[in-house]
Structure 1
């Protein structure tokens, strides 16, 4: 059955125009690091370049595979491994429902599945396969067991040996070994057969029905526990281009509005946890980098005012980075945050070039503080500022234009943010730094020049 469904999925995938070839692997070896039964199949799909975007191709694949009676999860092989390490589920988002009763867990998870399916950006939503299957339940009467002088443990061991089988020996065939298993015949493994099963006691053998009741019933096919609590998992992915933080926030809002019985609770895990932790770390590093930039500038100019004027370029660069992300349809990610931190150092360079040149004109070329000196210094530093900005921008163009190519998923947002920040900071800094310096820079400049003059006289 697994092979039939896998073949059907391959044929449906080959109908997608962009699919060049597919390869399927059903099950994994028991000694594999990620062992899987034959109920699970992995299909590798090779896509050809197309006019359609990646989002459209994946949406087409999902729509074609929706007719298959199976759980479908689409993603990259490495991302599946990382998701499994983070949450135990091969999906970006894992909603775990904990409780005591398996039927209640499944009903709660089914209700949550219906609510989460209405959230925009949620794809590949599926519920863990826990269904009820036919079972034989044997309930031991402890009072009768004591009368016959046997223990429930011995009865359970005998039933396990006879019903499930036990290896009693091995047969050697050259270099091959085969276990000899003893168990009941299939005809005796029914409810009627087990009732007449003879169980050894101190007074002889008696039928099992004299000390236990055997009933035909149903039960869950599997019971999964985590931290000693029963749980069921509802997994999902965020659509390509969707804001993971927004999707998670919407899921948390649904969970907050969903009442749970006493003793039941939910836990949301997945890839977004690592992203949130990385975002917090990057925010802390950003504060550290801004502090260090300020200290370096203060040590150079001996003025907090001049240091803040130079750092005024940072917000201008951030504006360009945000606009670039918006125009490209990108979301705020860890990679783009790294680009913003990089901009903090790059954008201050233009202010350093201009203010250092203003100081040079006054100190060495006889200029006095005023508009003519600021205009002259700005024009003389325009060429170096534009040259360095254009060189950096041209170097980033290959990464910006390669947005859809594999392997550029991380570098593309970084390059996009830096490119947009360079454009905005270079253009806006042409006006902002001279105006700020004219308004607040005269007194700090005079103090800096007098201090440097005093130092030269001392030397």
Structure 2
């Protein structure tokens, strides 16, 4: 039986949980991103035609995403796919920026030559595009490689983040196709007709380049010292990862709390409903609560059937912007108000509860399972362990699986006597089951109503004497049950739970105001020091187990991705030094990512690891294009290996690098500054890692890559001059 009750203090309508966005939202979200992207490009380059051409890269990719991802892969437009597109925007624009910027530079150089030495516009566009094409292709290949671990994830984390990876990769590949096909054609038709072709850089860019040139020249005087400083920062940030709190998924903000009240099994519905009503009244007194919905029990055919001793209260909260307290403080307030009720309290959120239930079979963050044969020993050990765990800081909603002793009649069949009468134990069990539980014989139809016709013993006969007189059919005739079995009154648990065929009892718990990983560490210390009888053991389950397994898998596969990344870079440059120099951008990006997680208070979750994966591809991209530009200046423009060449190449790459970083930052702004909005909290750590990592990677790469190239790159750079194909650059 189930009963429902709803009471309202401010609003009777529950605010929707933003899990997926309808297609109409795309139009509202896309337009500002295009405008922001184009504005950045216009400030840096100062050419309106370039703004239009580069911006074209973004909507073209949107059409390809809809065609390839949402149709072919059967994906919908939801939070994760839109997040993948937002994260990819910086790379989408960068392909066109690099191509267009190089074409403009080449057109200016060609215009400054004497009229007799000038070449045709189409030849300039072709050579300029070929000069950067290889770098763009290899940078895109690197991004695809770093996402390989994402597709190996299974379970909930795989379902959540695989659509993000598909959206990111396909949009990046589509951008590559546009940048090497459409962008050069548009450049040929639009760029030569610009009246501003010779106006030079904007004032902002001139100021940045002049100051950057001064600082870089000073940096190259004693570069080893700064490289040591950077290596020290990398070491510190790398070690700090091991002490960071961890979590499976970032904390959700669903806008609704789910409060569970669990009484002893067998309690009457009226009593359960009365206690739940008291809880409802107490919760409605909390100022952040807008409504409370209550239900006691769940239907027998429900996926999560529960008896009437279990009540659940759906608590609606005000919008995140109107809350003056954190979610943890509100939950603690609810616990304090309900502490005197004679029920076990568990507080969570609807979707989070379902995730916990799928991961461990228990609707809580932590499930401590004790296995053994004797049910009495299991419960006594659970009581002892619970008392020891109650002292763990941050552990709340600590409760033992509800069990009560129910009256029973035990029937022990004498196998020898049963065989003498020619009856098997299975036949006896079938008879007892049919007459006690009832056997459906037919159906009675009365008008529009239907009733099942069930044959079973009356309640008055379900006693020790009544069952003893039940007649059993045998080949020798009908005999009473007492002839072949002994019956006795007893009691036993209302339910026996098993995992993998072994009896168990569960201690469930949640965490509050403390990282899940830190709480689990303390729990493991308590469990390791807890002595149990022989044959009994404890296992831990919950979100942290899924987090540990997924982290190990991502870490293992990331090593493979790094090796493949190195192989791709070595194929391009034929130099171990250049490959490692470019990959050094990854630890440089890690510095900012770790600082960003600490400052934002985010744990190291699977979402944050996905951010690290994305960041690795983006940061390596800058290194590829910078090293390639140095080599192209030497091979295609006759520059000698010198500080002046390195300074020139770094200054010419400054504008595209800054544009990529700024465009990515603008694209991530909604995920960064609206972390409390339902539906965006799962992508907030991804945005924090990428945004913070891009800051450190962009700043440090701007100085360290030229320094490393100046210190160690001369020998390998001169080898690159021996390459015979001078038409296509690096």
Same-fold call, TM > 0.5? Answer: yes
Write the deviation string for residues 400-435 of structure 1: whole angstroms up to 9, x where unpaired: 111211111221000000011011111122221122
Task: Quote the offset at 1:249 in angstroms.
Answer: 3.4
User: Does residue 290 of structure 2 align to residue 20 of structure 1?
Assistant: yes
SS in 1 for 2:718: helix
Kept in 2: contact 1:290–1:344 (CA 8 A): no
2:592 aligned residue: 320
* 7 and 373 in structure 1: CA distance in 2 versus 1, 3 angstrom threshold: same
SS in 1 for 2:402: coil
Alignment of 1:140-289 (within 5 A): 171-174=444-447, 175-179=449-453, 181-186=455-460, 189=462, 212=486, 214-215=488-489, 217-239=490-512, 242-289=514-561
Task: Quote the offset at 1:224 in angstroms.
Answer: 1.8
Task: Quote the offset at 1:61 in angstroms.
Answer: 2.2
Instruction: Tell me which of 290, 299, 310 is aligned to 1:40.
Output: 310
Task: Quote the offset at 1:298 in angstroms.
Answer: 2.0
Task: Quote the offset at 1:313 in angstroms.
Answer: 1.2
2:669 aligned residue: 397
1:115 aligned residue: 388
Task: Quote the offset at 1:16 in angstroms.
Answer: 1.5
Write the deviation string for residues 89-115 of structure 1: whole angstroms up to 9, x where unpaired: 222222221111111000111122222
* 143 and 377 in structure 1: CA distance in 2 versus 1, 3 angstrom threshold: closer
> Which structure shows the bigger proportion of residues in helix conformation?
2
1:343 aligned residue: 615
Q: For 2:435 and 2:568, how far apart are their aligned partners in 1?
A: 80
May I ask how many residue pairs the two structures share in their alignment? 451
User: Does residue 410 of structure 2 align to residue 410 of structure 1?
Assistant: no
2:273 aligned residue: 3
1:446 aligned residue: 718
- Answer with 27-36 or 205-214: which moved more: 205-214
* 162 and 365 in structure 1: CA distance in 2 versus 1, 3 angstrom threshold: closer
Task: Quote the offset at 1:128 in angstroms.
Answer: 0.5
Task: Quote the offset at 1:284 in angstroms.
Answer: 3.0
Instruction: Tell me which of 402, 423, 426 is aligned to 2:695.
Output: 423
* 395 and 149 in structure 1: CA distance in 2 versus 1, 3 angstrom threshold: closer
SS in 1 for 2:314: strand
Q: For 1:143 and 1:353, how far apart are their aligned partners in 2?
A: 87
* 149 and 448 in structure 1: CA distance in 2 versus 1, 3 angstrom threshold: closer
Kept in 1: contact 2:292–2:315 (CA 8 A): yes
* Unmatched 5+ stretches in structure 1: none
Question: TM-score, with normalisation over the residues of structure 2?
Answer: 0.56
* Unmatched 5+ stretches in structure 2: 1-270
Task: Quote the offset at 1:316 in angstroms.
Answer: 0.9
* 399 and 156 in structure 1: CA distance in 2 versus 1, 3 angstrom threshold: closer
2:399 aligned residue: 126
Instruction: Tell me which of 44, 58, 70 is aligned to 2:343.
Output: 70
* 147 and 339 in structure 1: CA distance in 2 versus 1, 3 angstrom threshold: closer
Instruction: Tell me which of 606, 625, 644 is aligned to 1:334.
Output: 606
Q: For 2:431 and 2:385, how far apart are their aligned partners in 1?
A: 43
Kept in 1: contact 2:636–2:726 (CA 8 A): no
Structure 1 residue ranges (4+ consecutive) displaced by more than 4 angstroms after TM superposition: 136-172, 188-191, 193-211
Task: Quote the offset at 1:335 in angstroms.
Answer: 0.4
Kept in 1: contact 2:438–2:454 (CA 8 A): no
Q: For 1:170 and 1:309, how far apart are their aligned partners in 2?
A: 80
Write the deviation string for residues 32-63 of structure 1: whole angstroms up to 9, x where unpaired: 33333322223222111312122222222232
- Answer with 44-53 or 379-388: which moved more: 379-388
Q: For 1:278 and 1:54, how far apart are their aligned partners in 2?
A: 27
- Answer with 408-417 or 163-172: which moved more: 163-172
> Which structure shows the bigger proportion of residues in strand conformation?
1
Cα RMSD between the aligned structures?
3.2
- Answer with 353-362 or 175-184: which moved more: 175-184
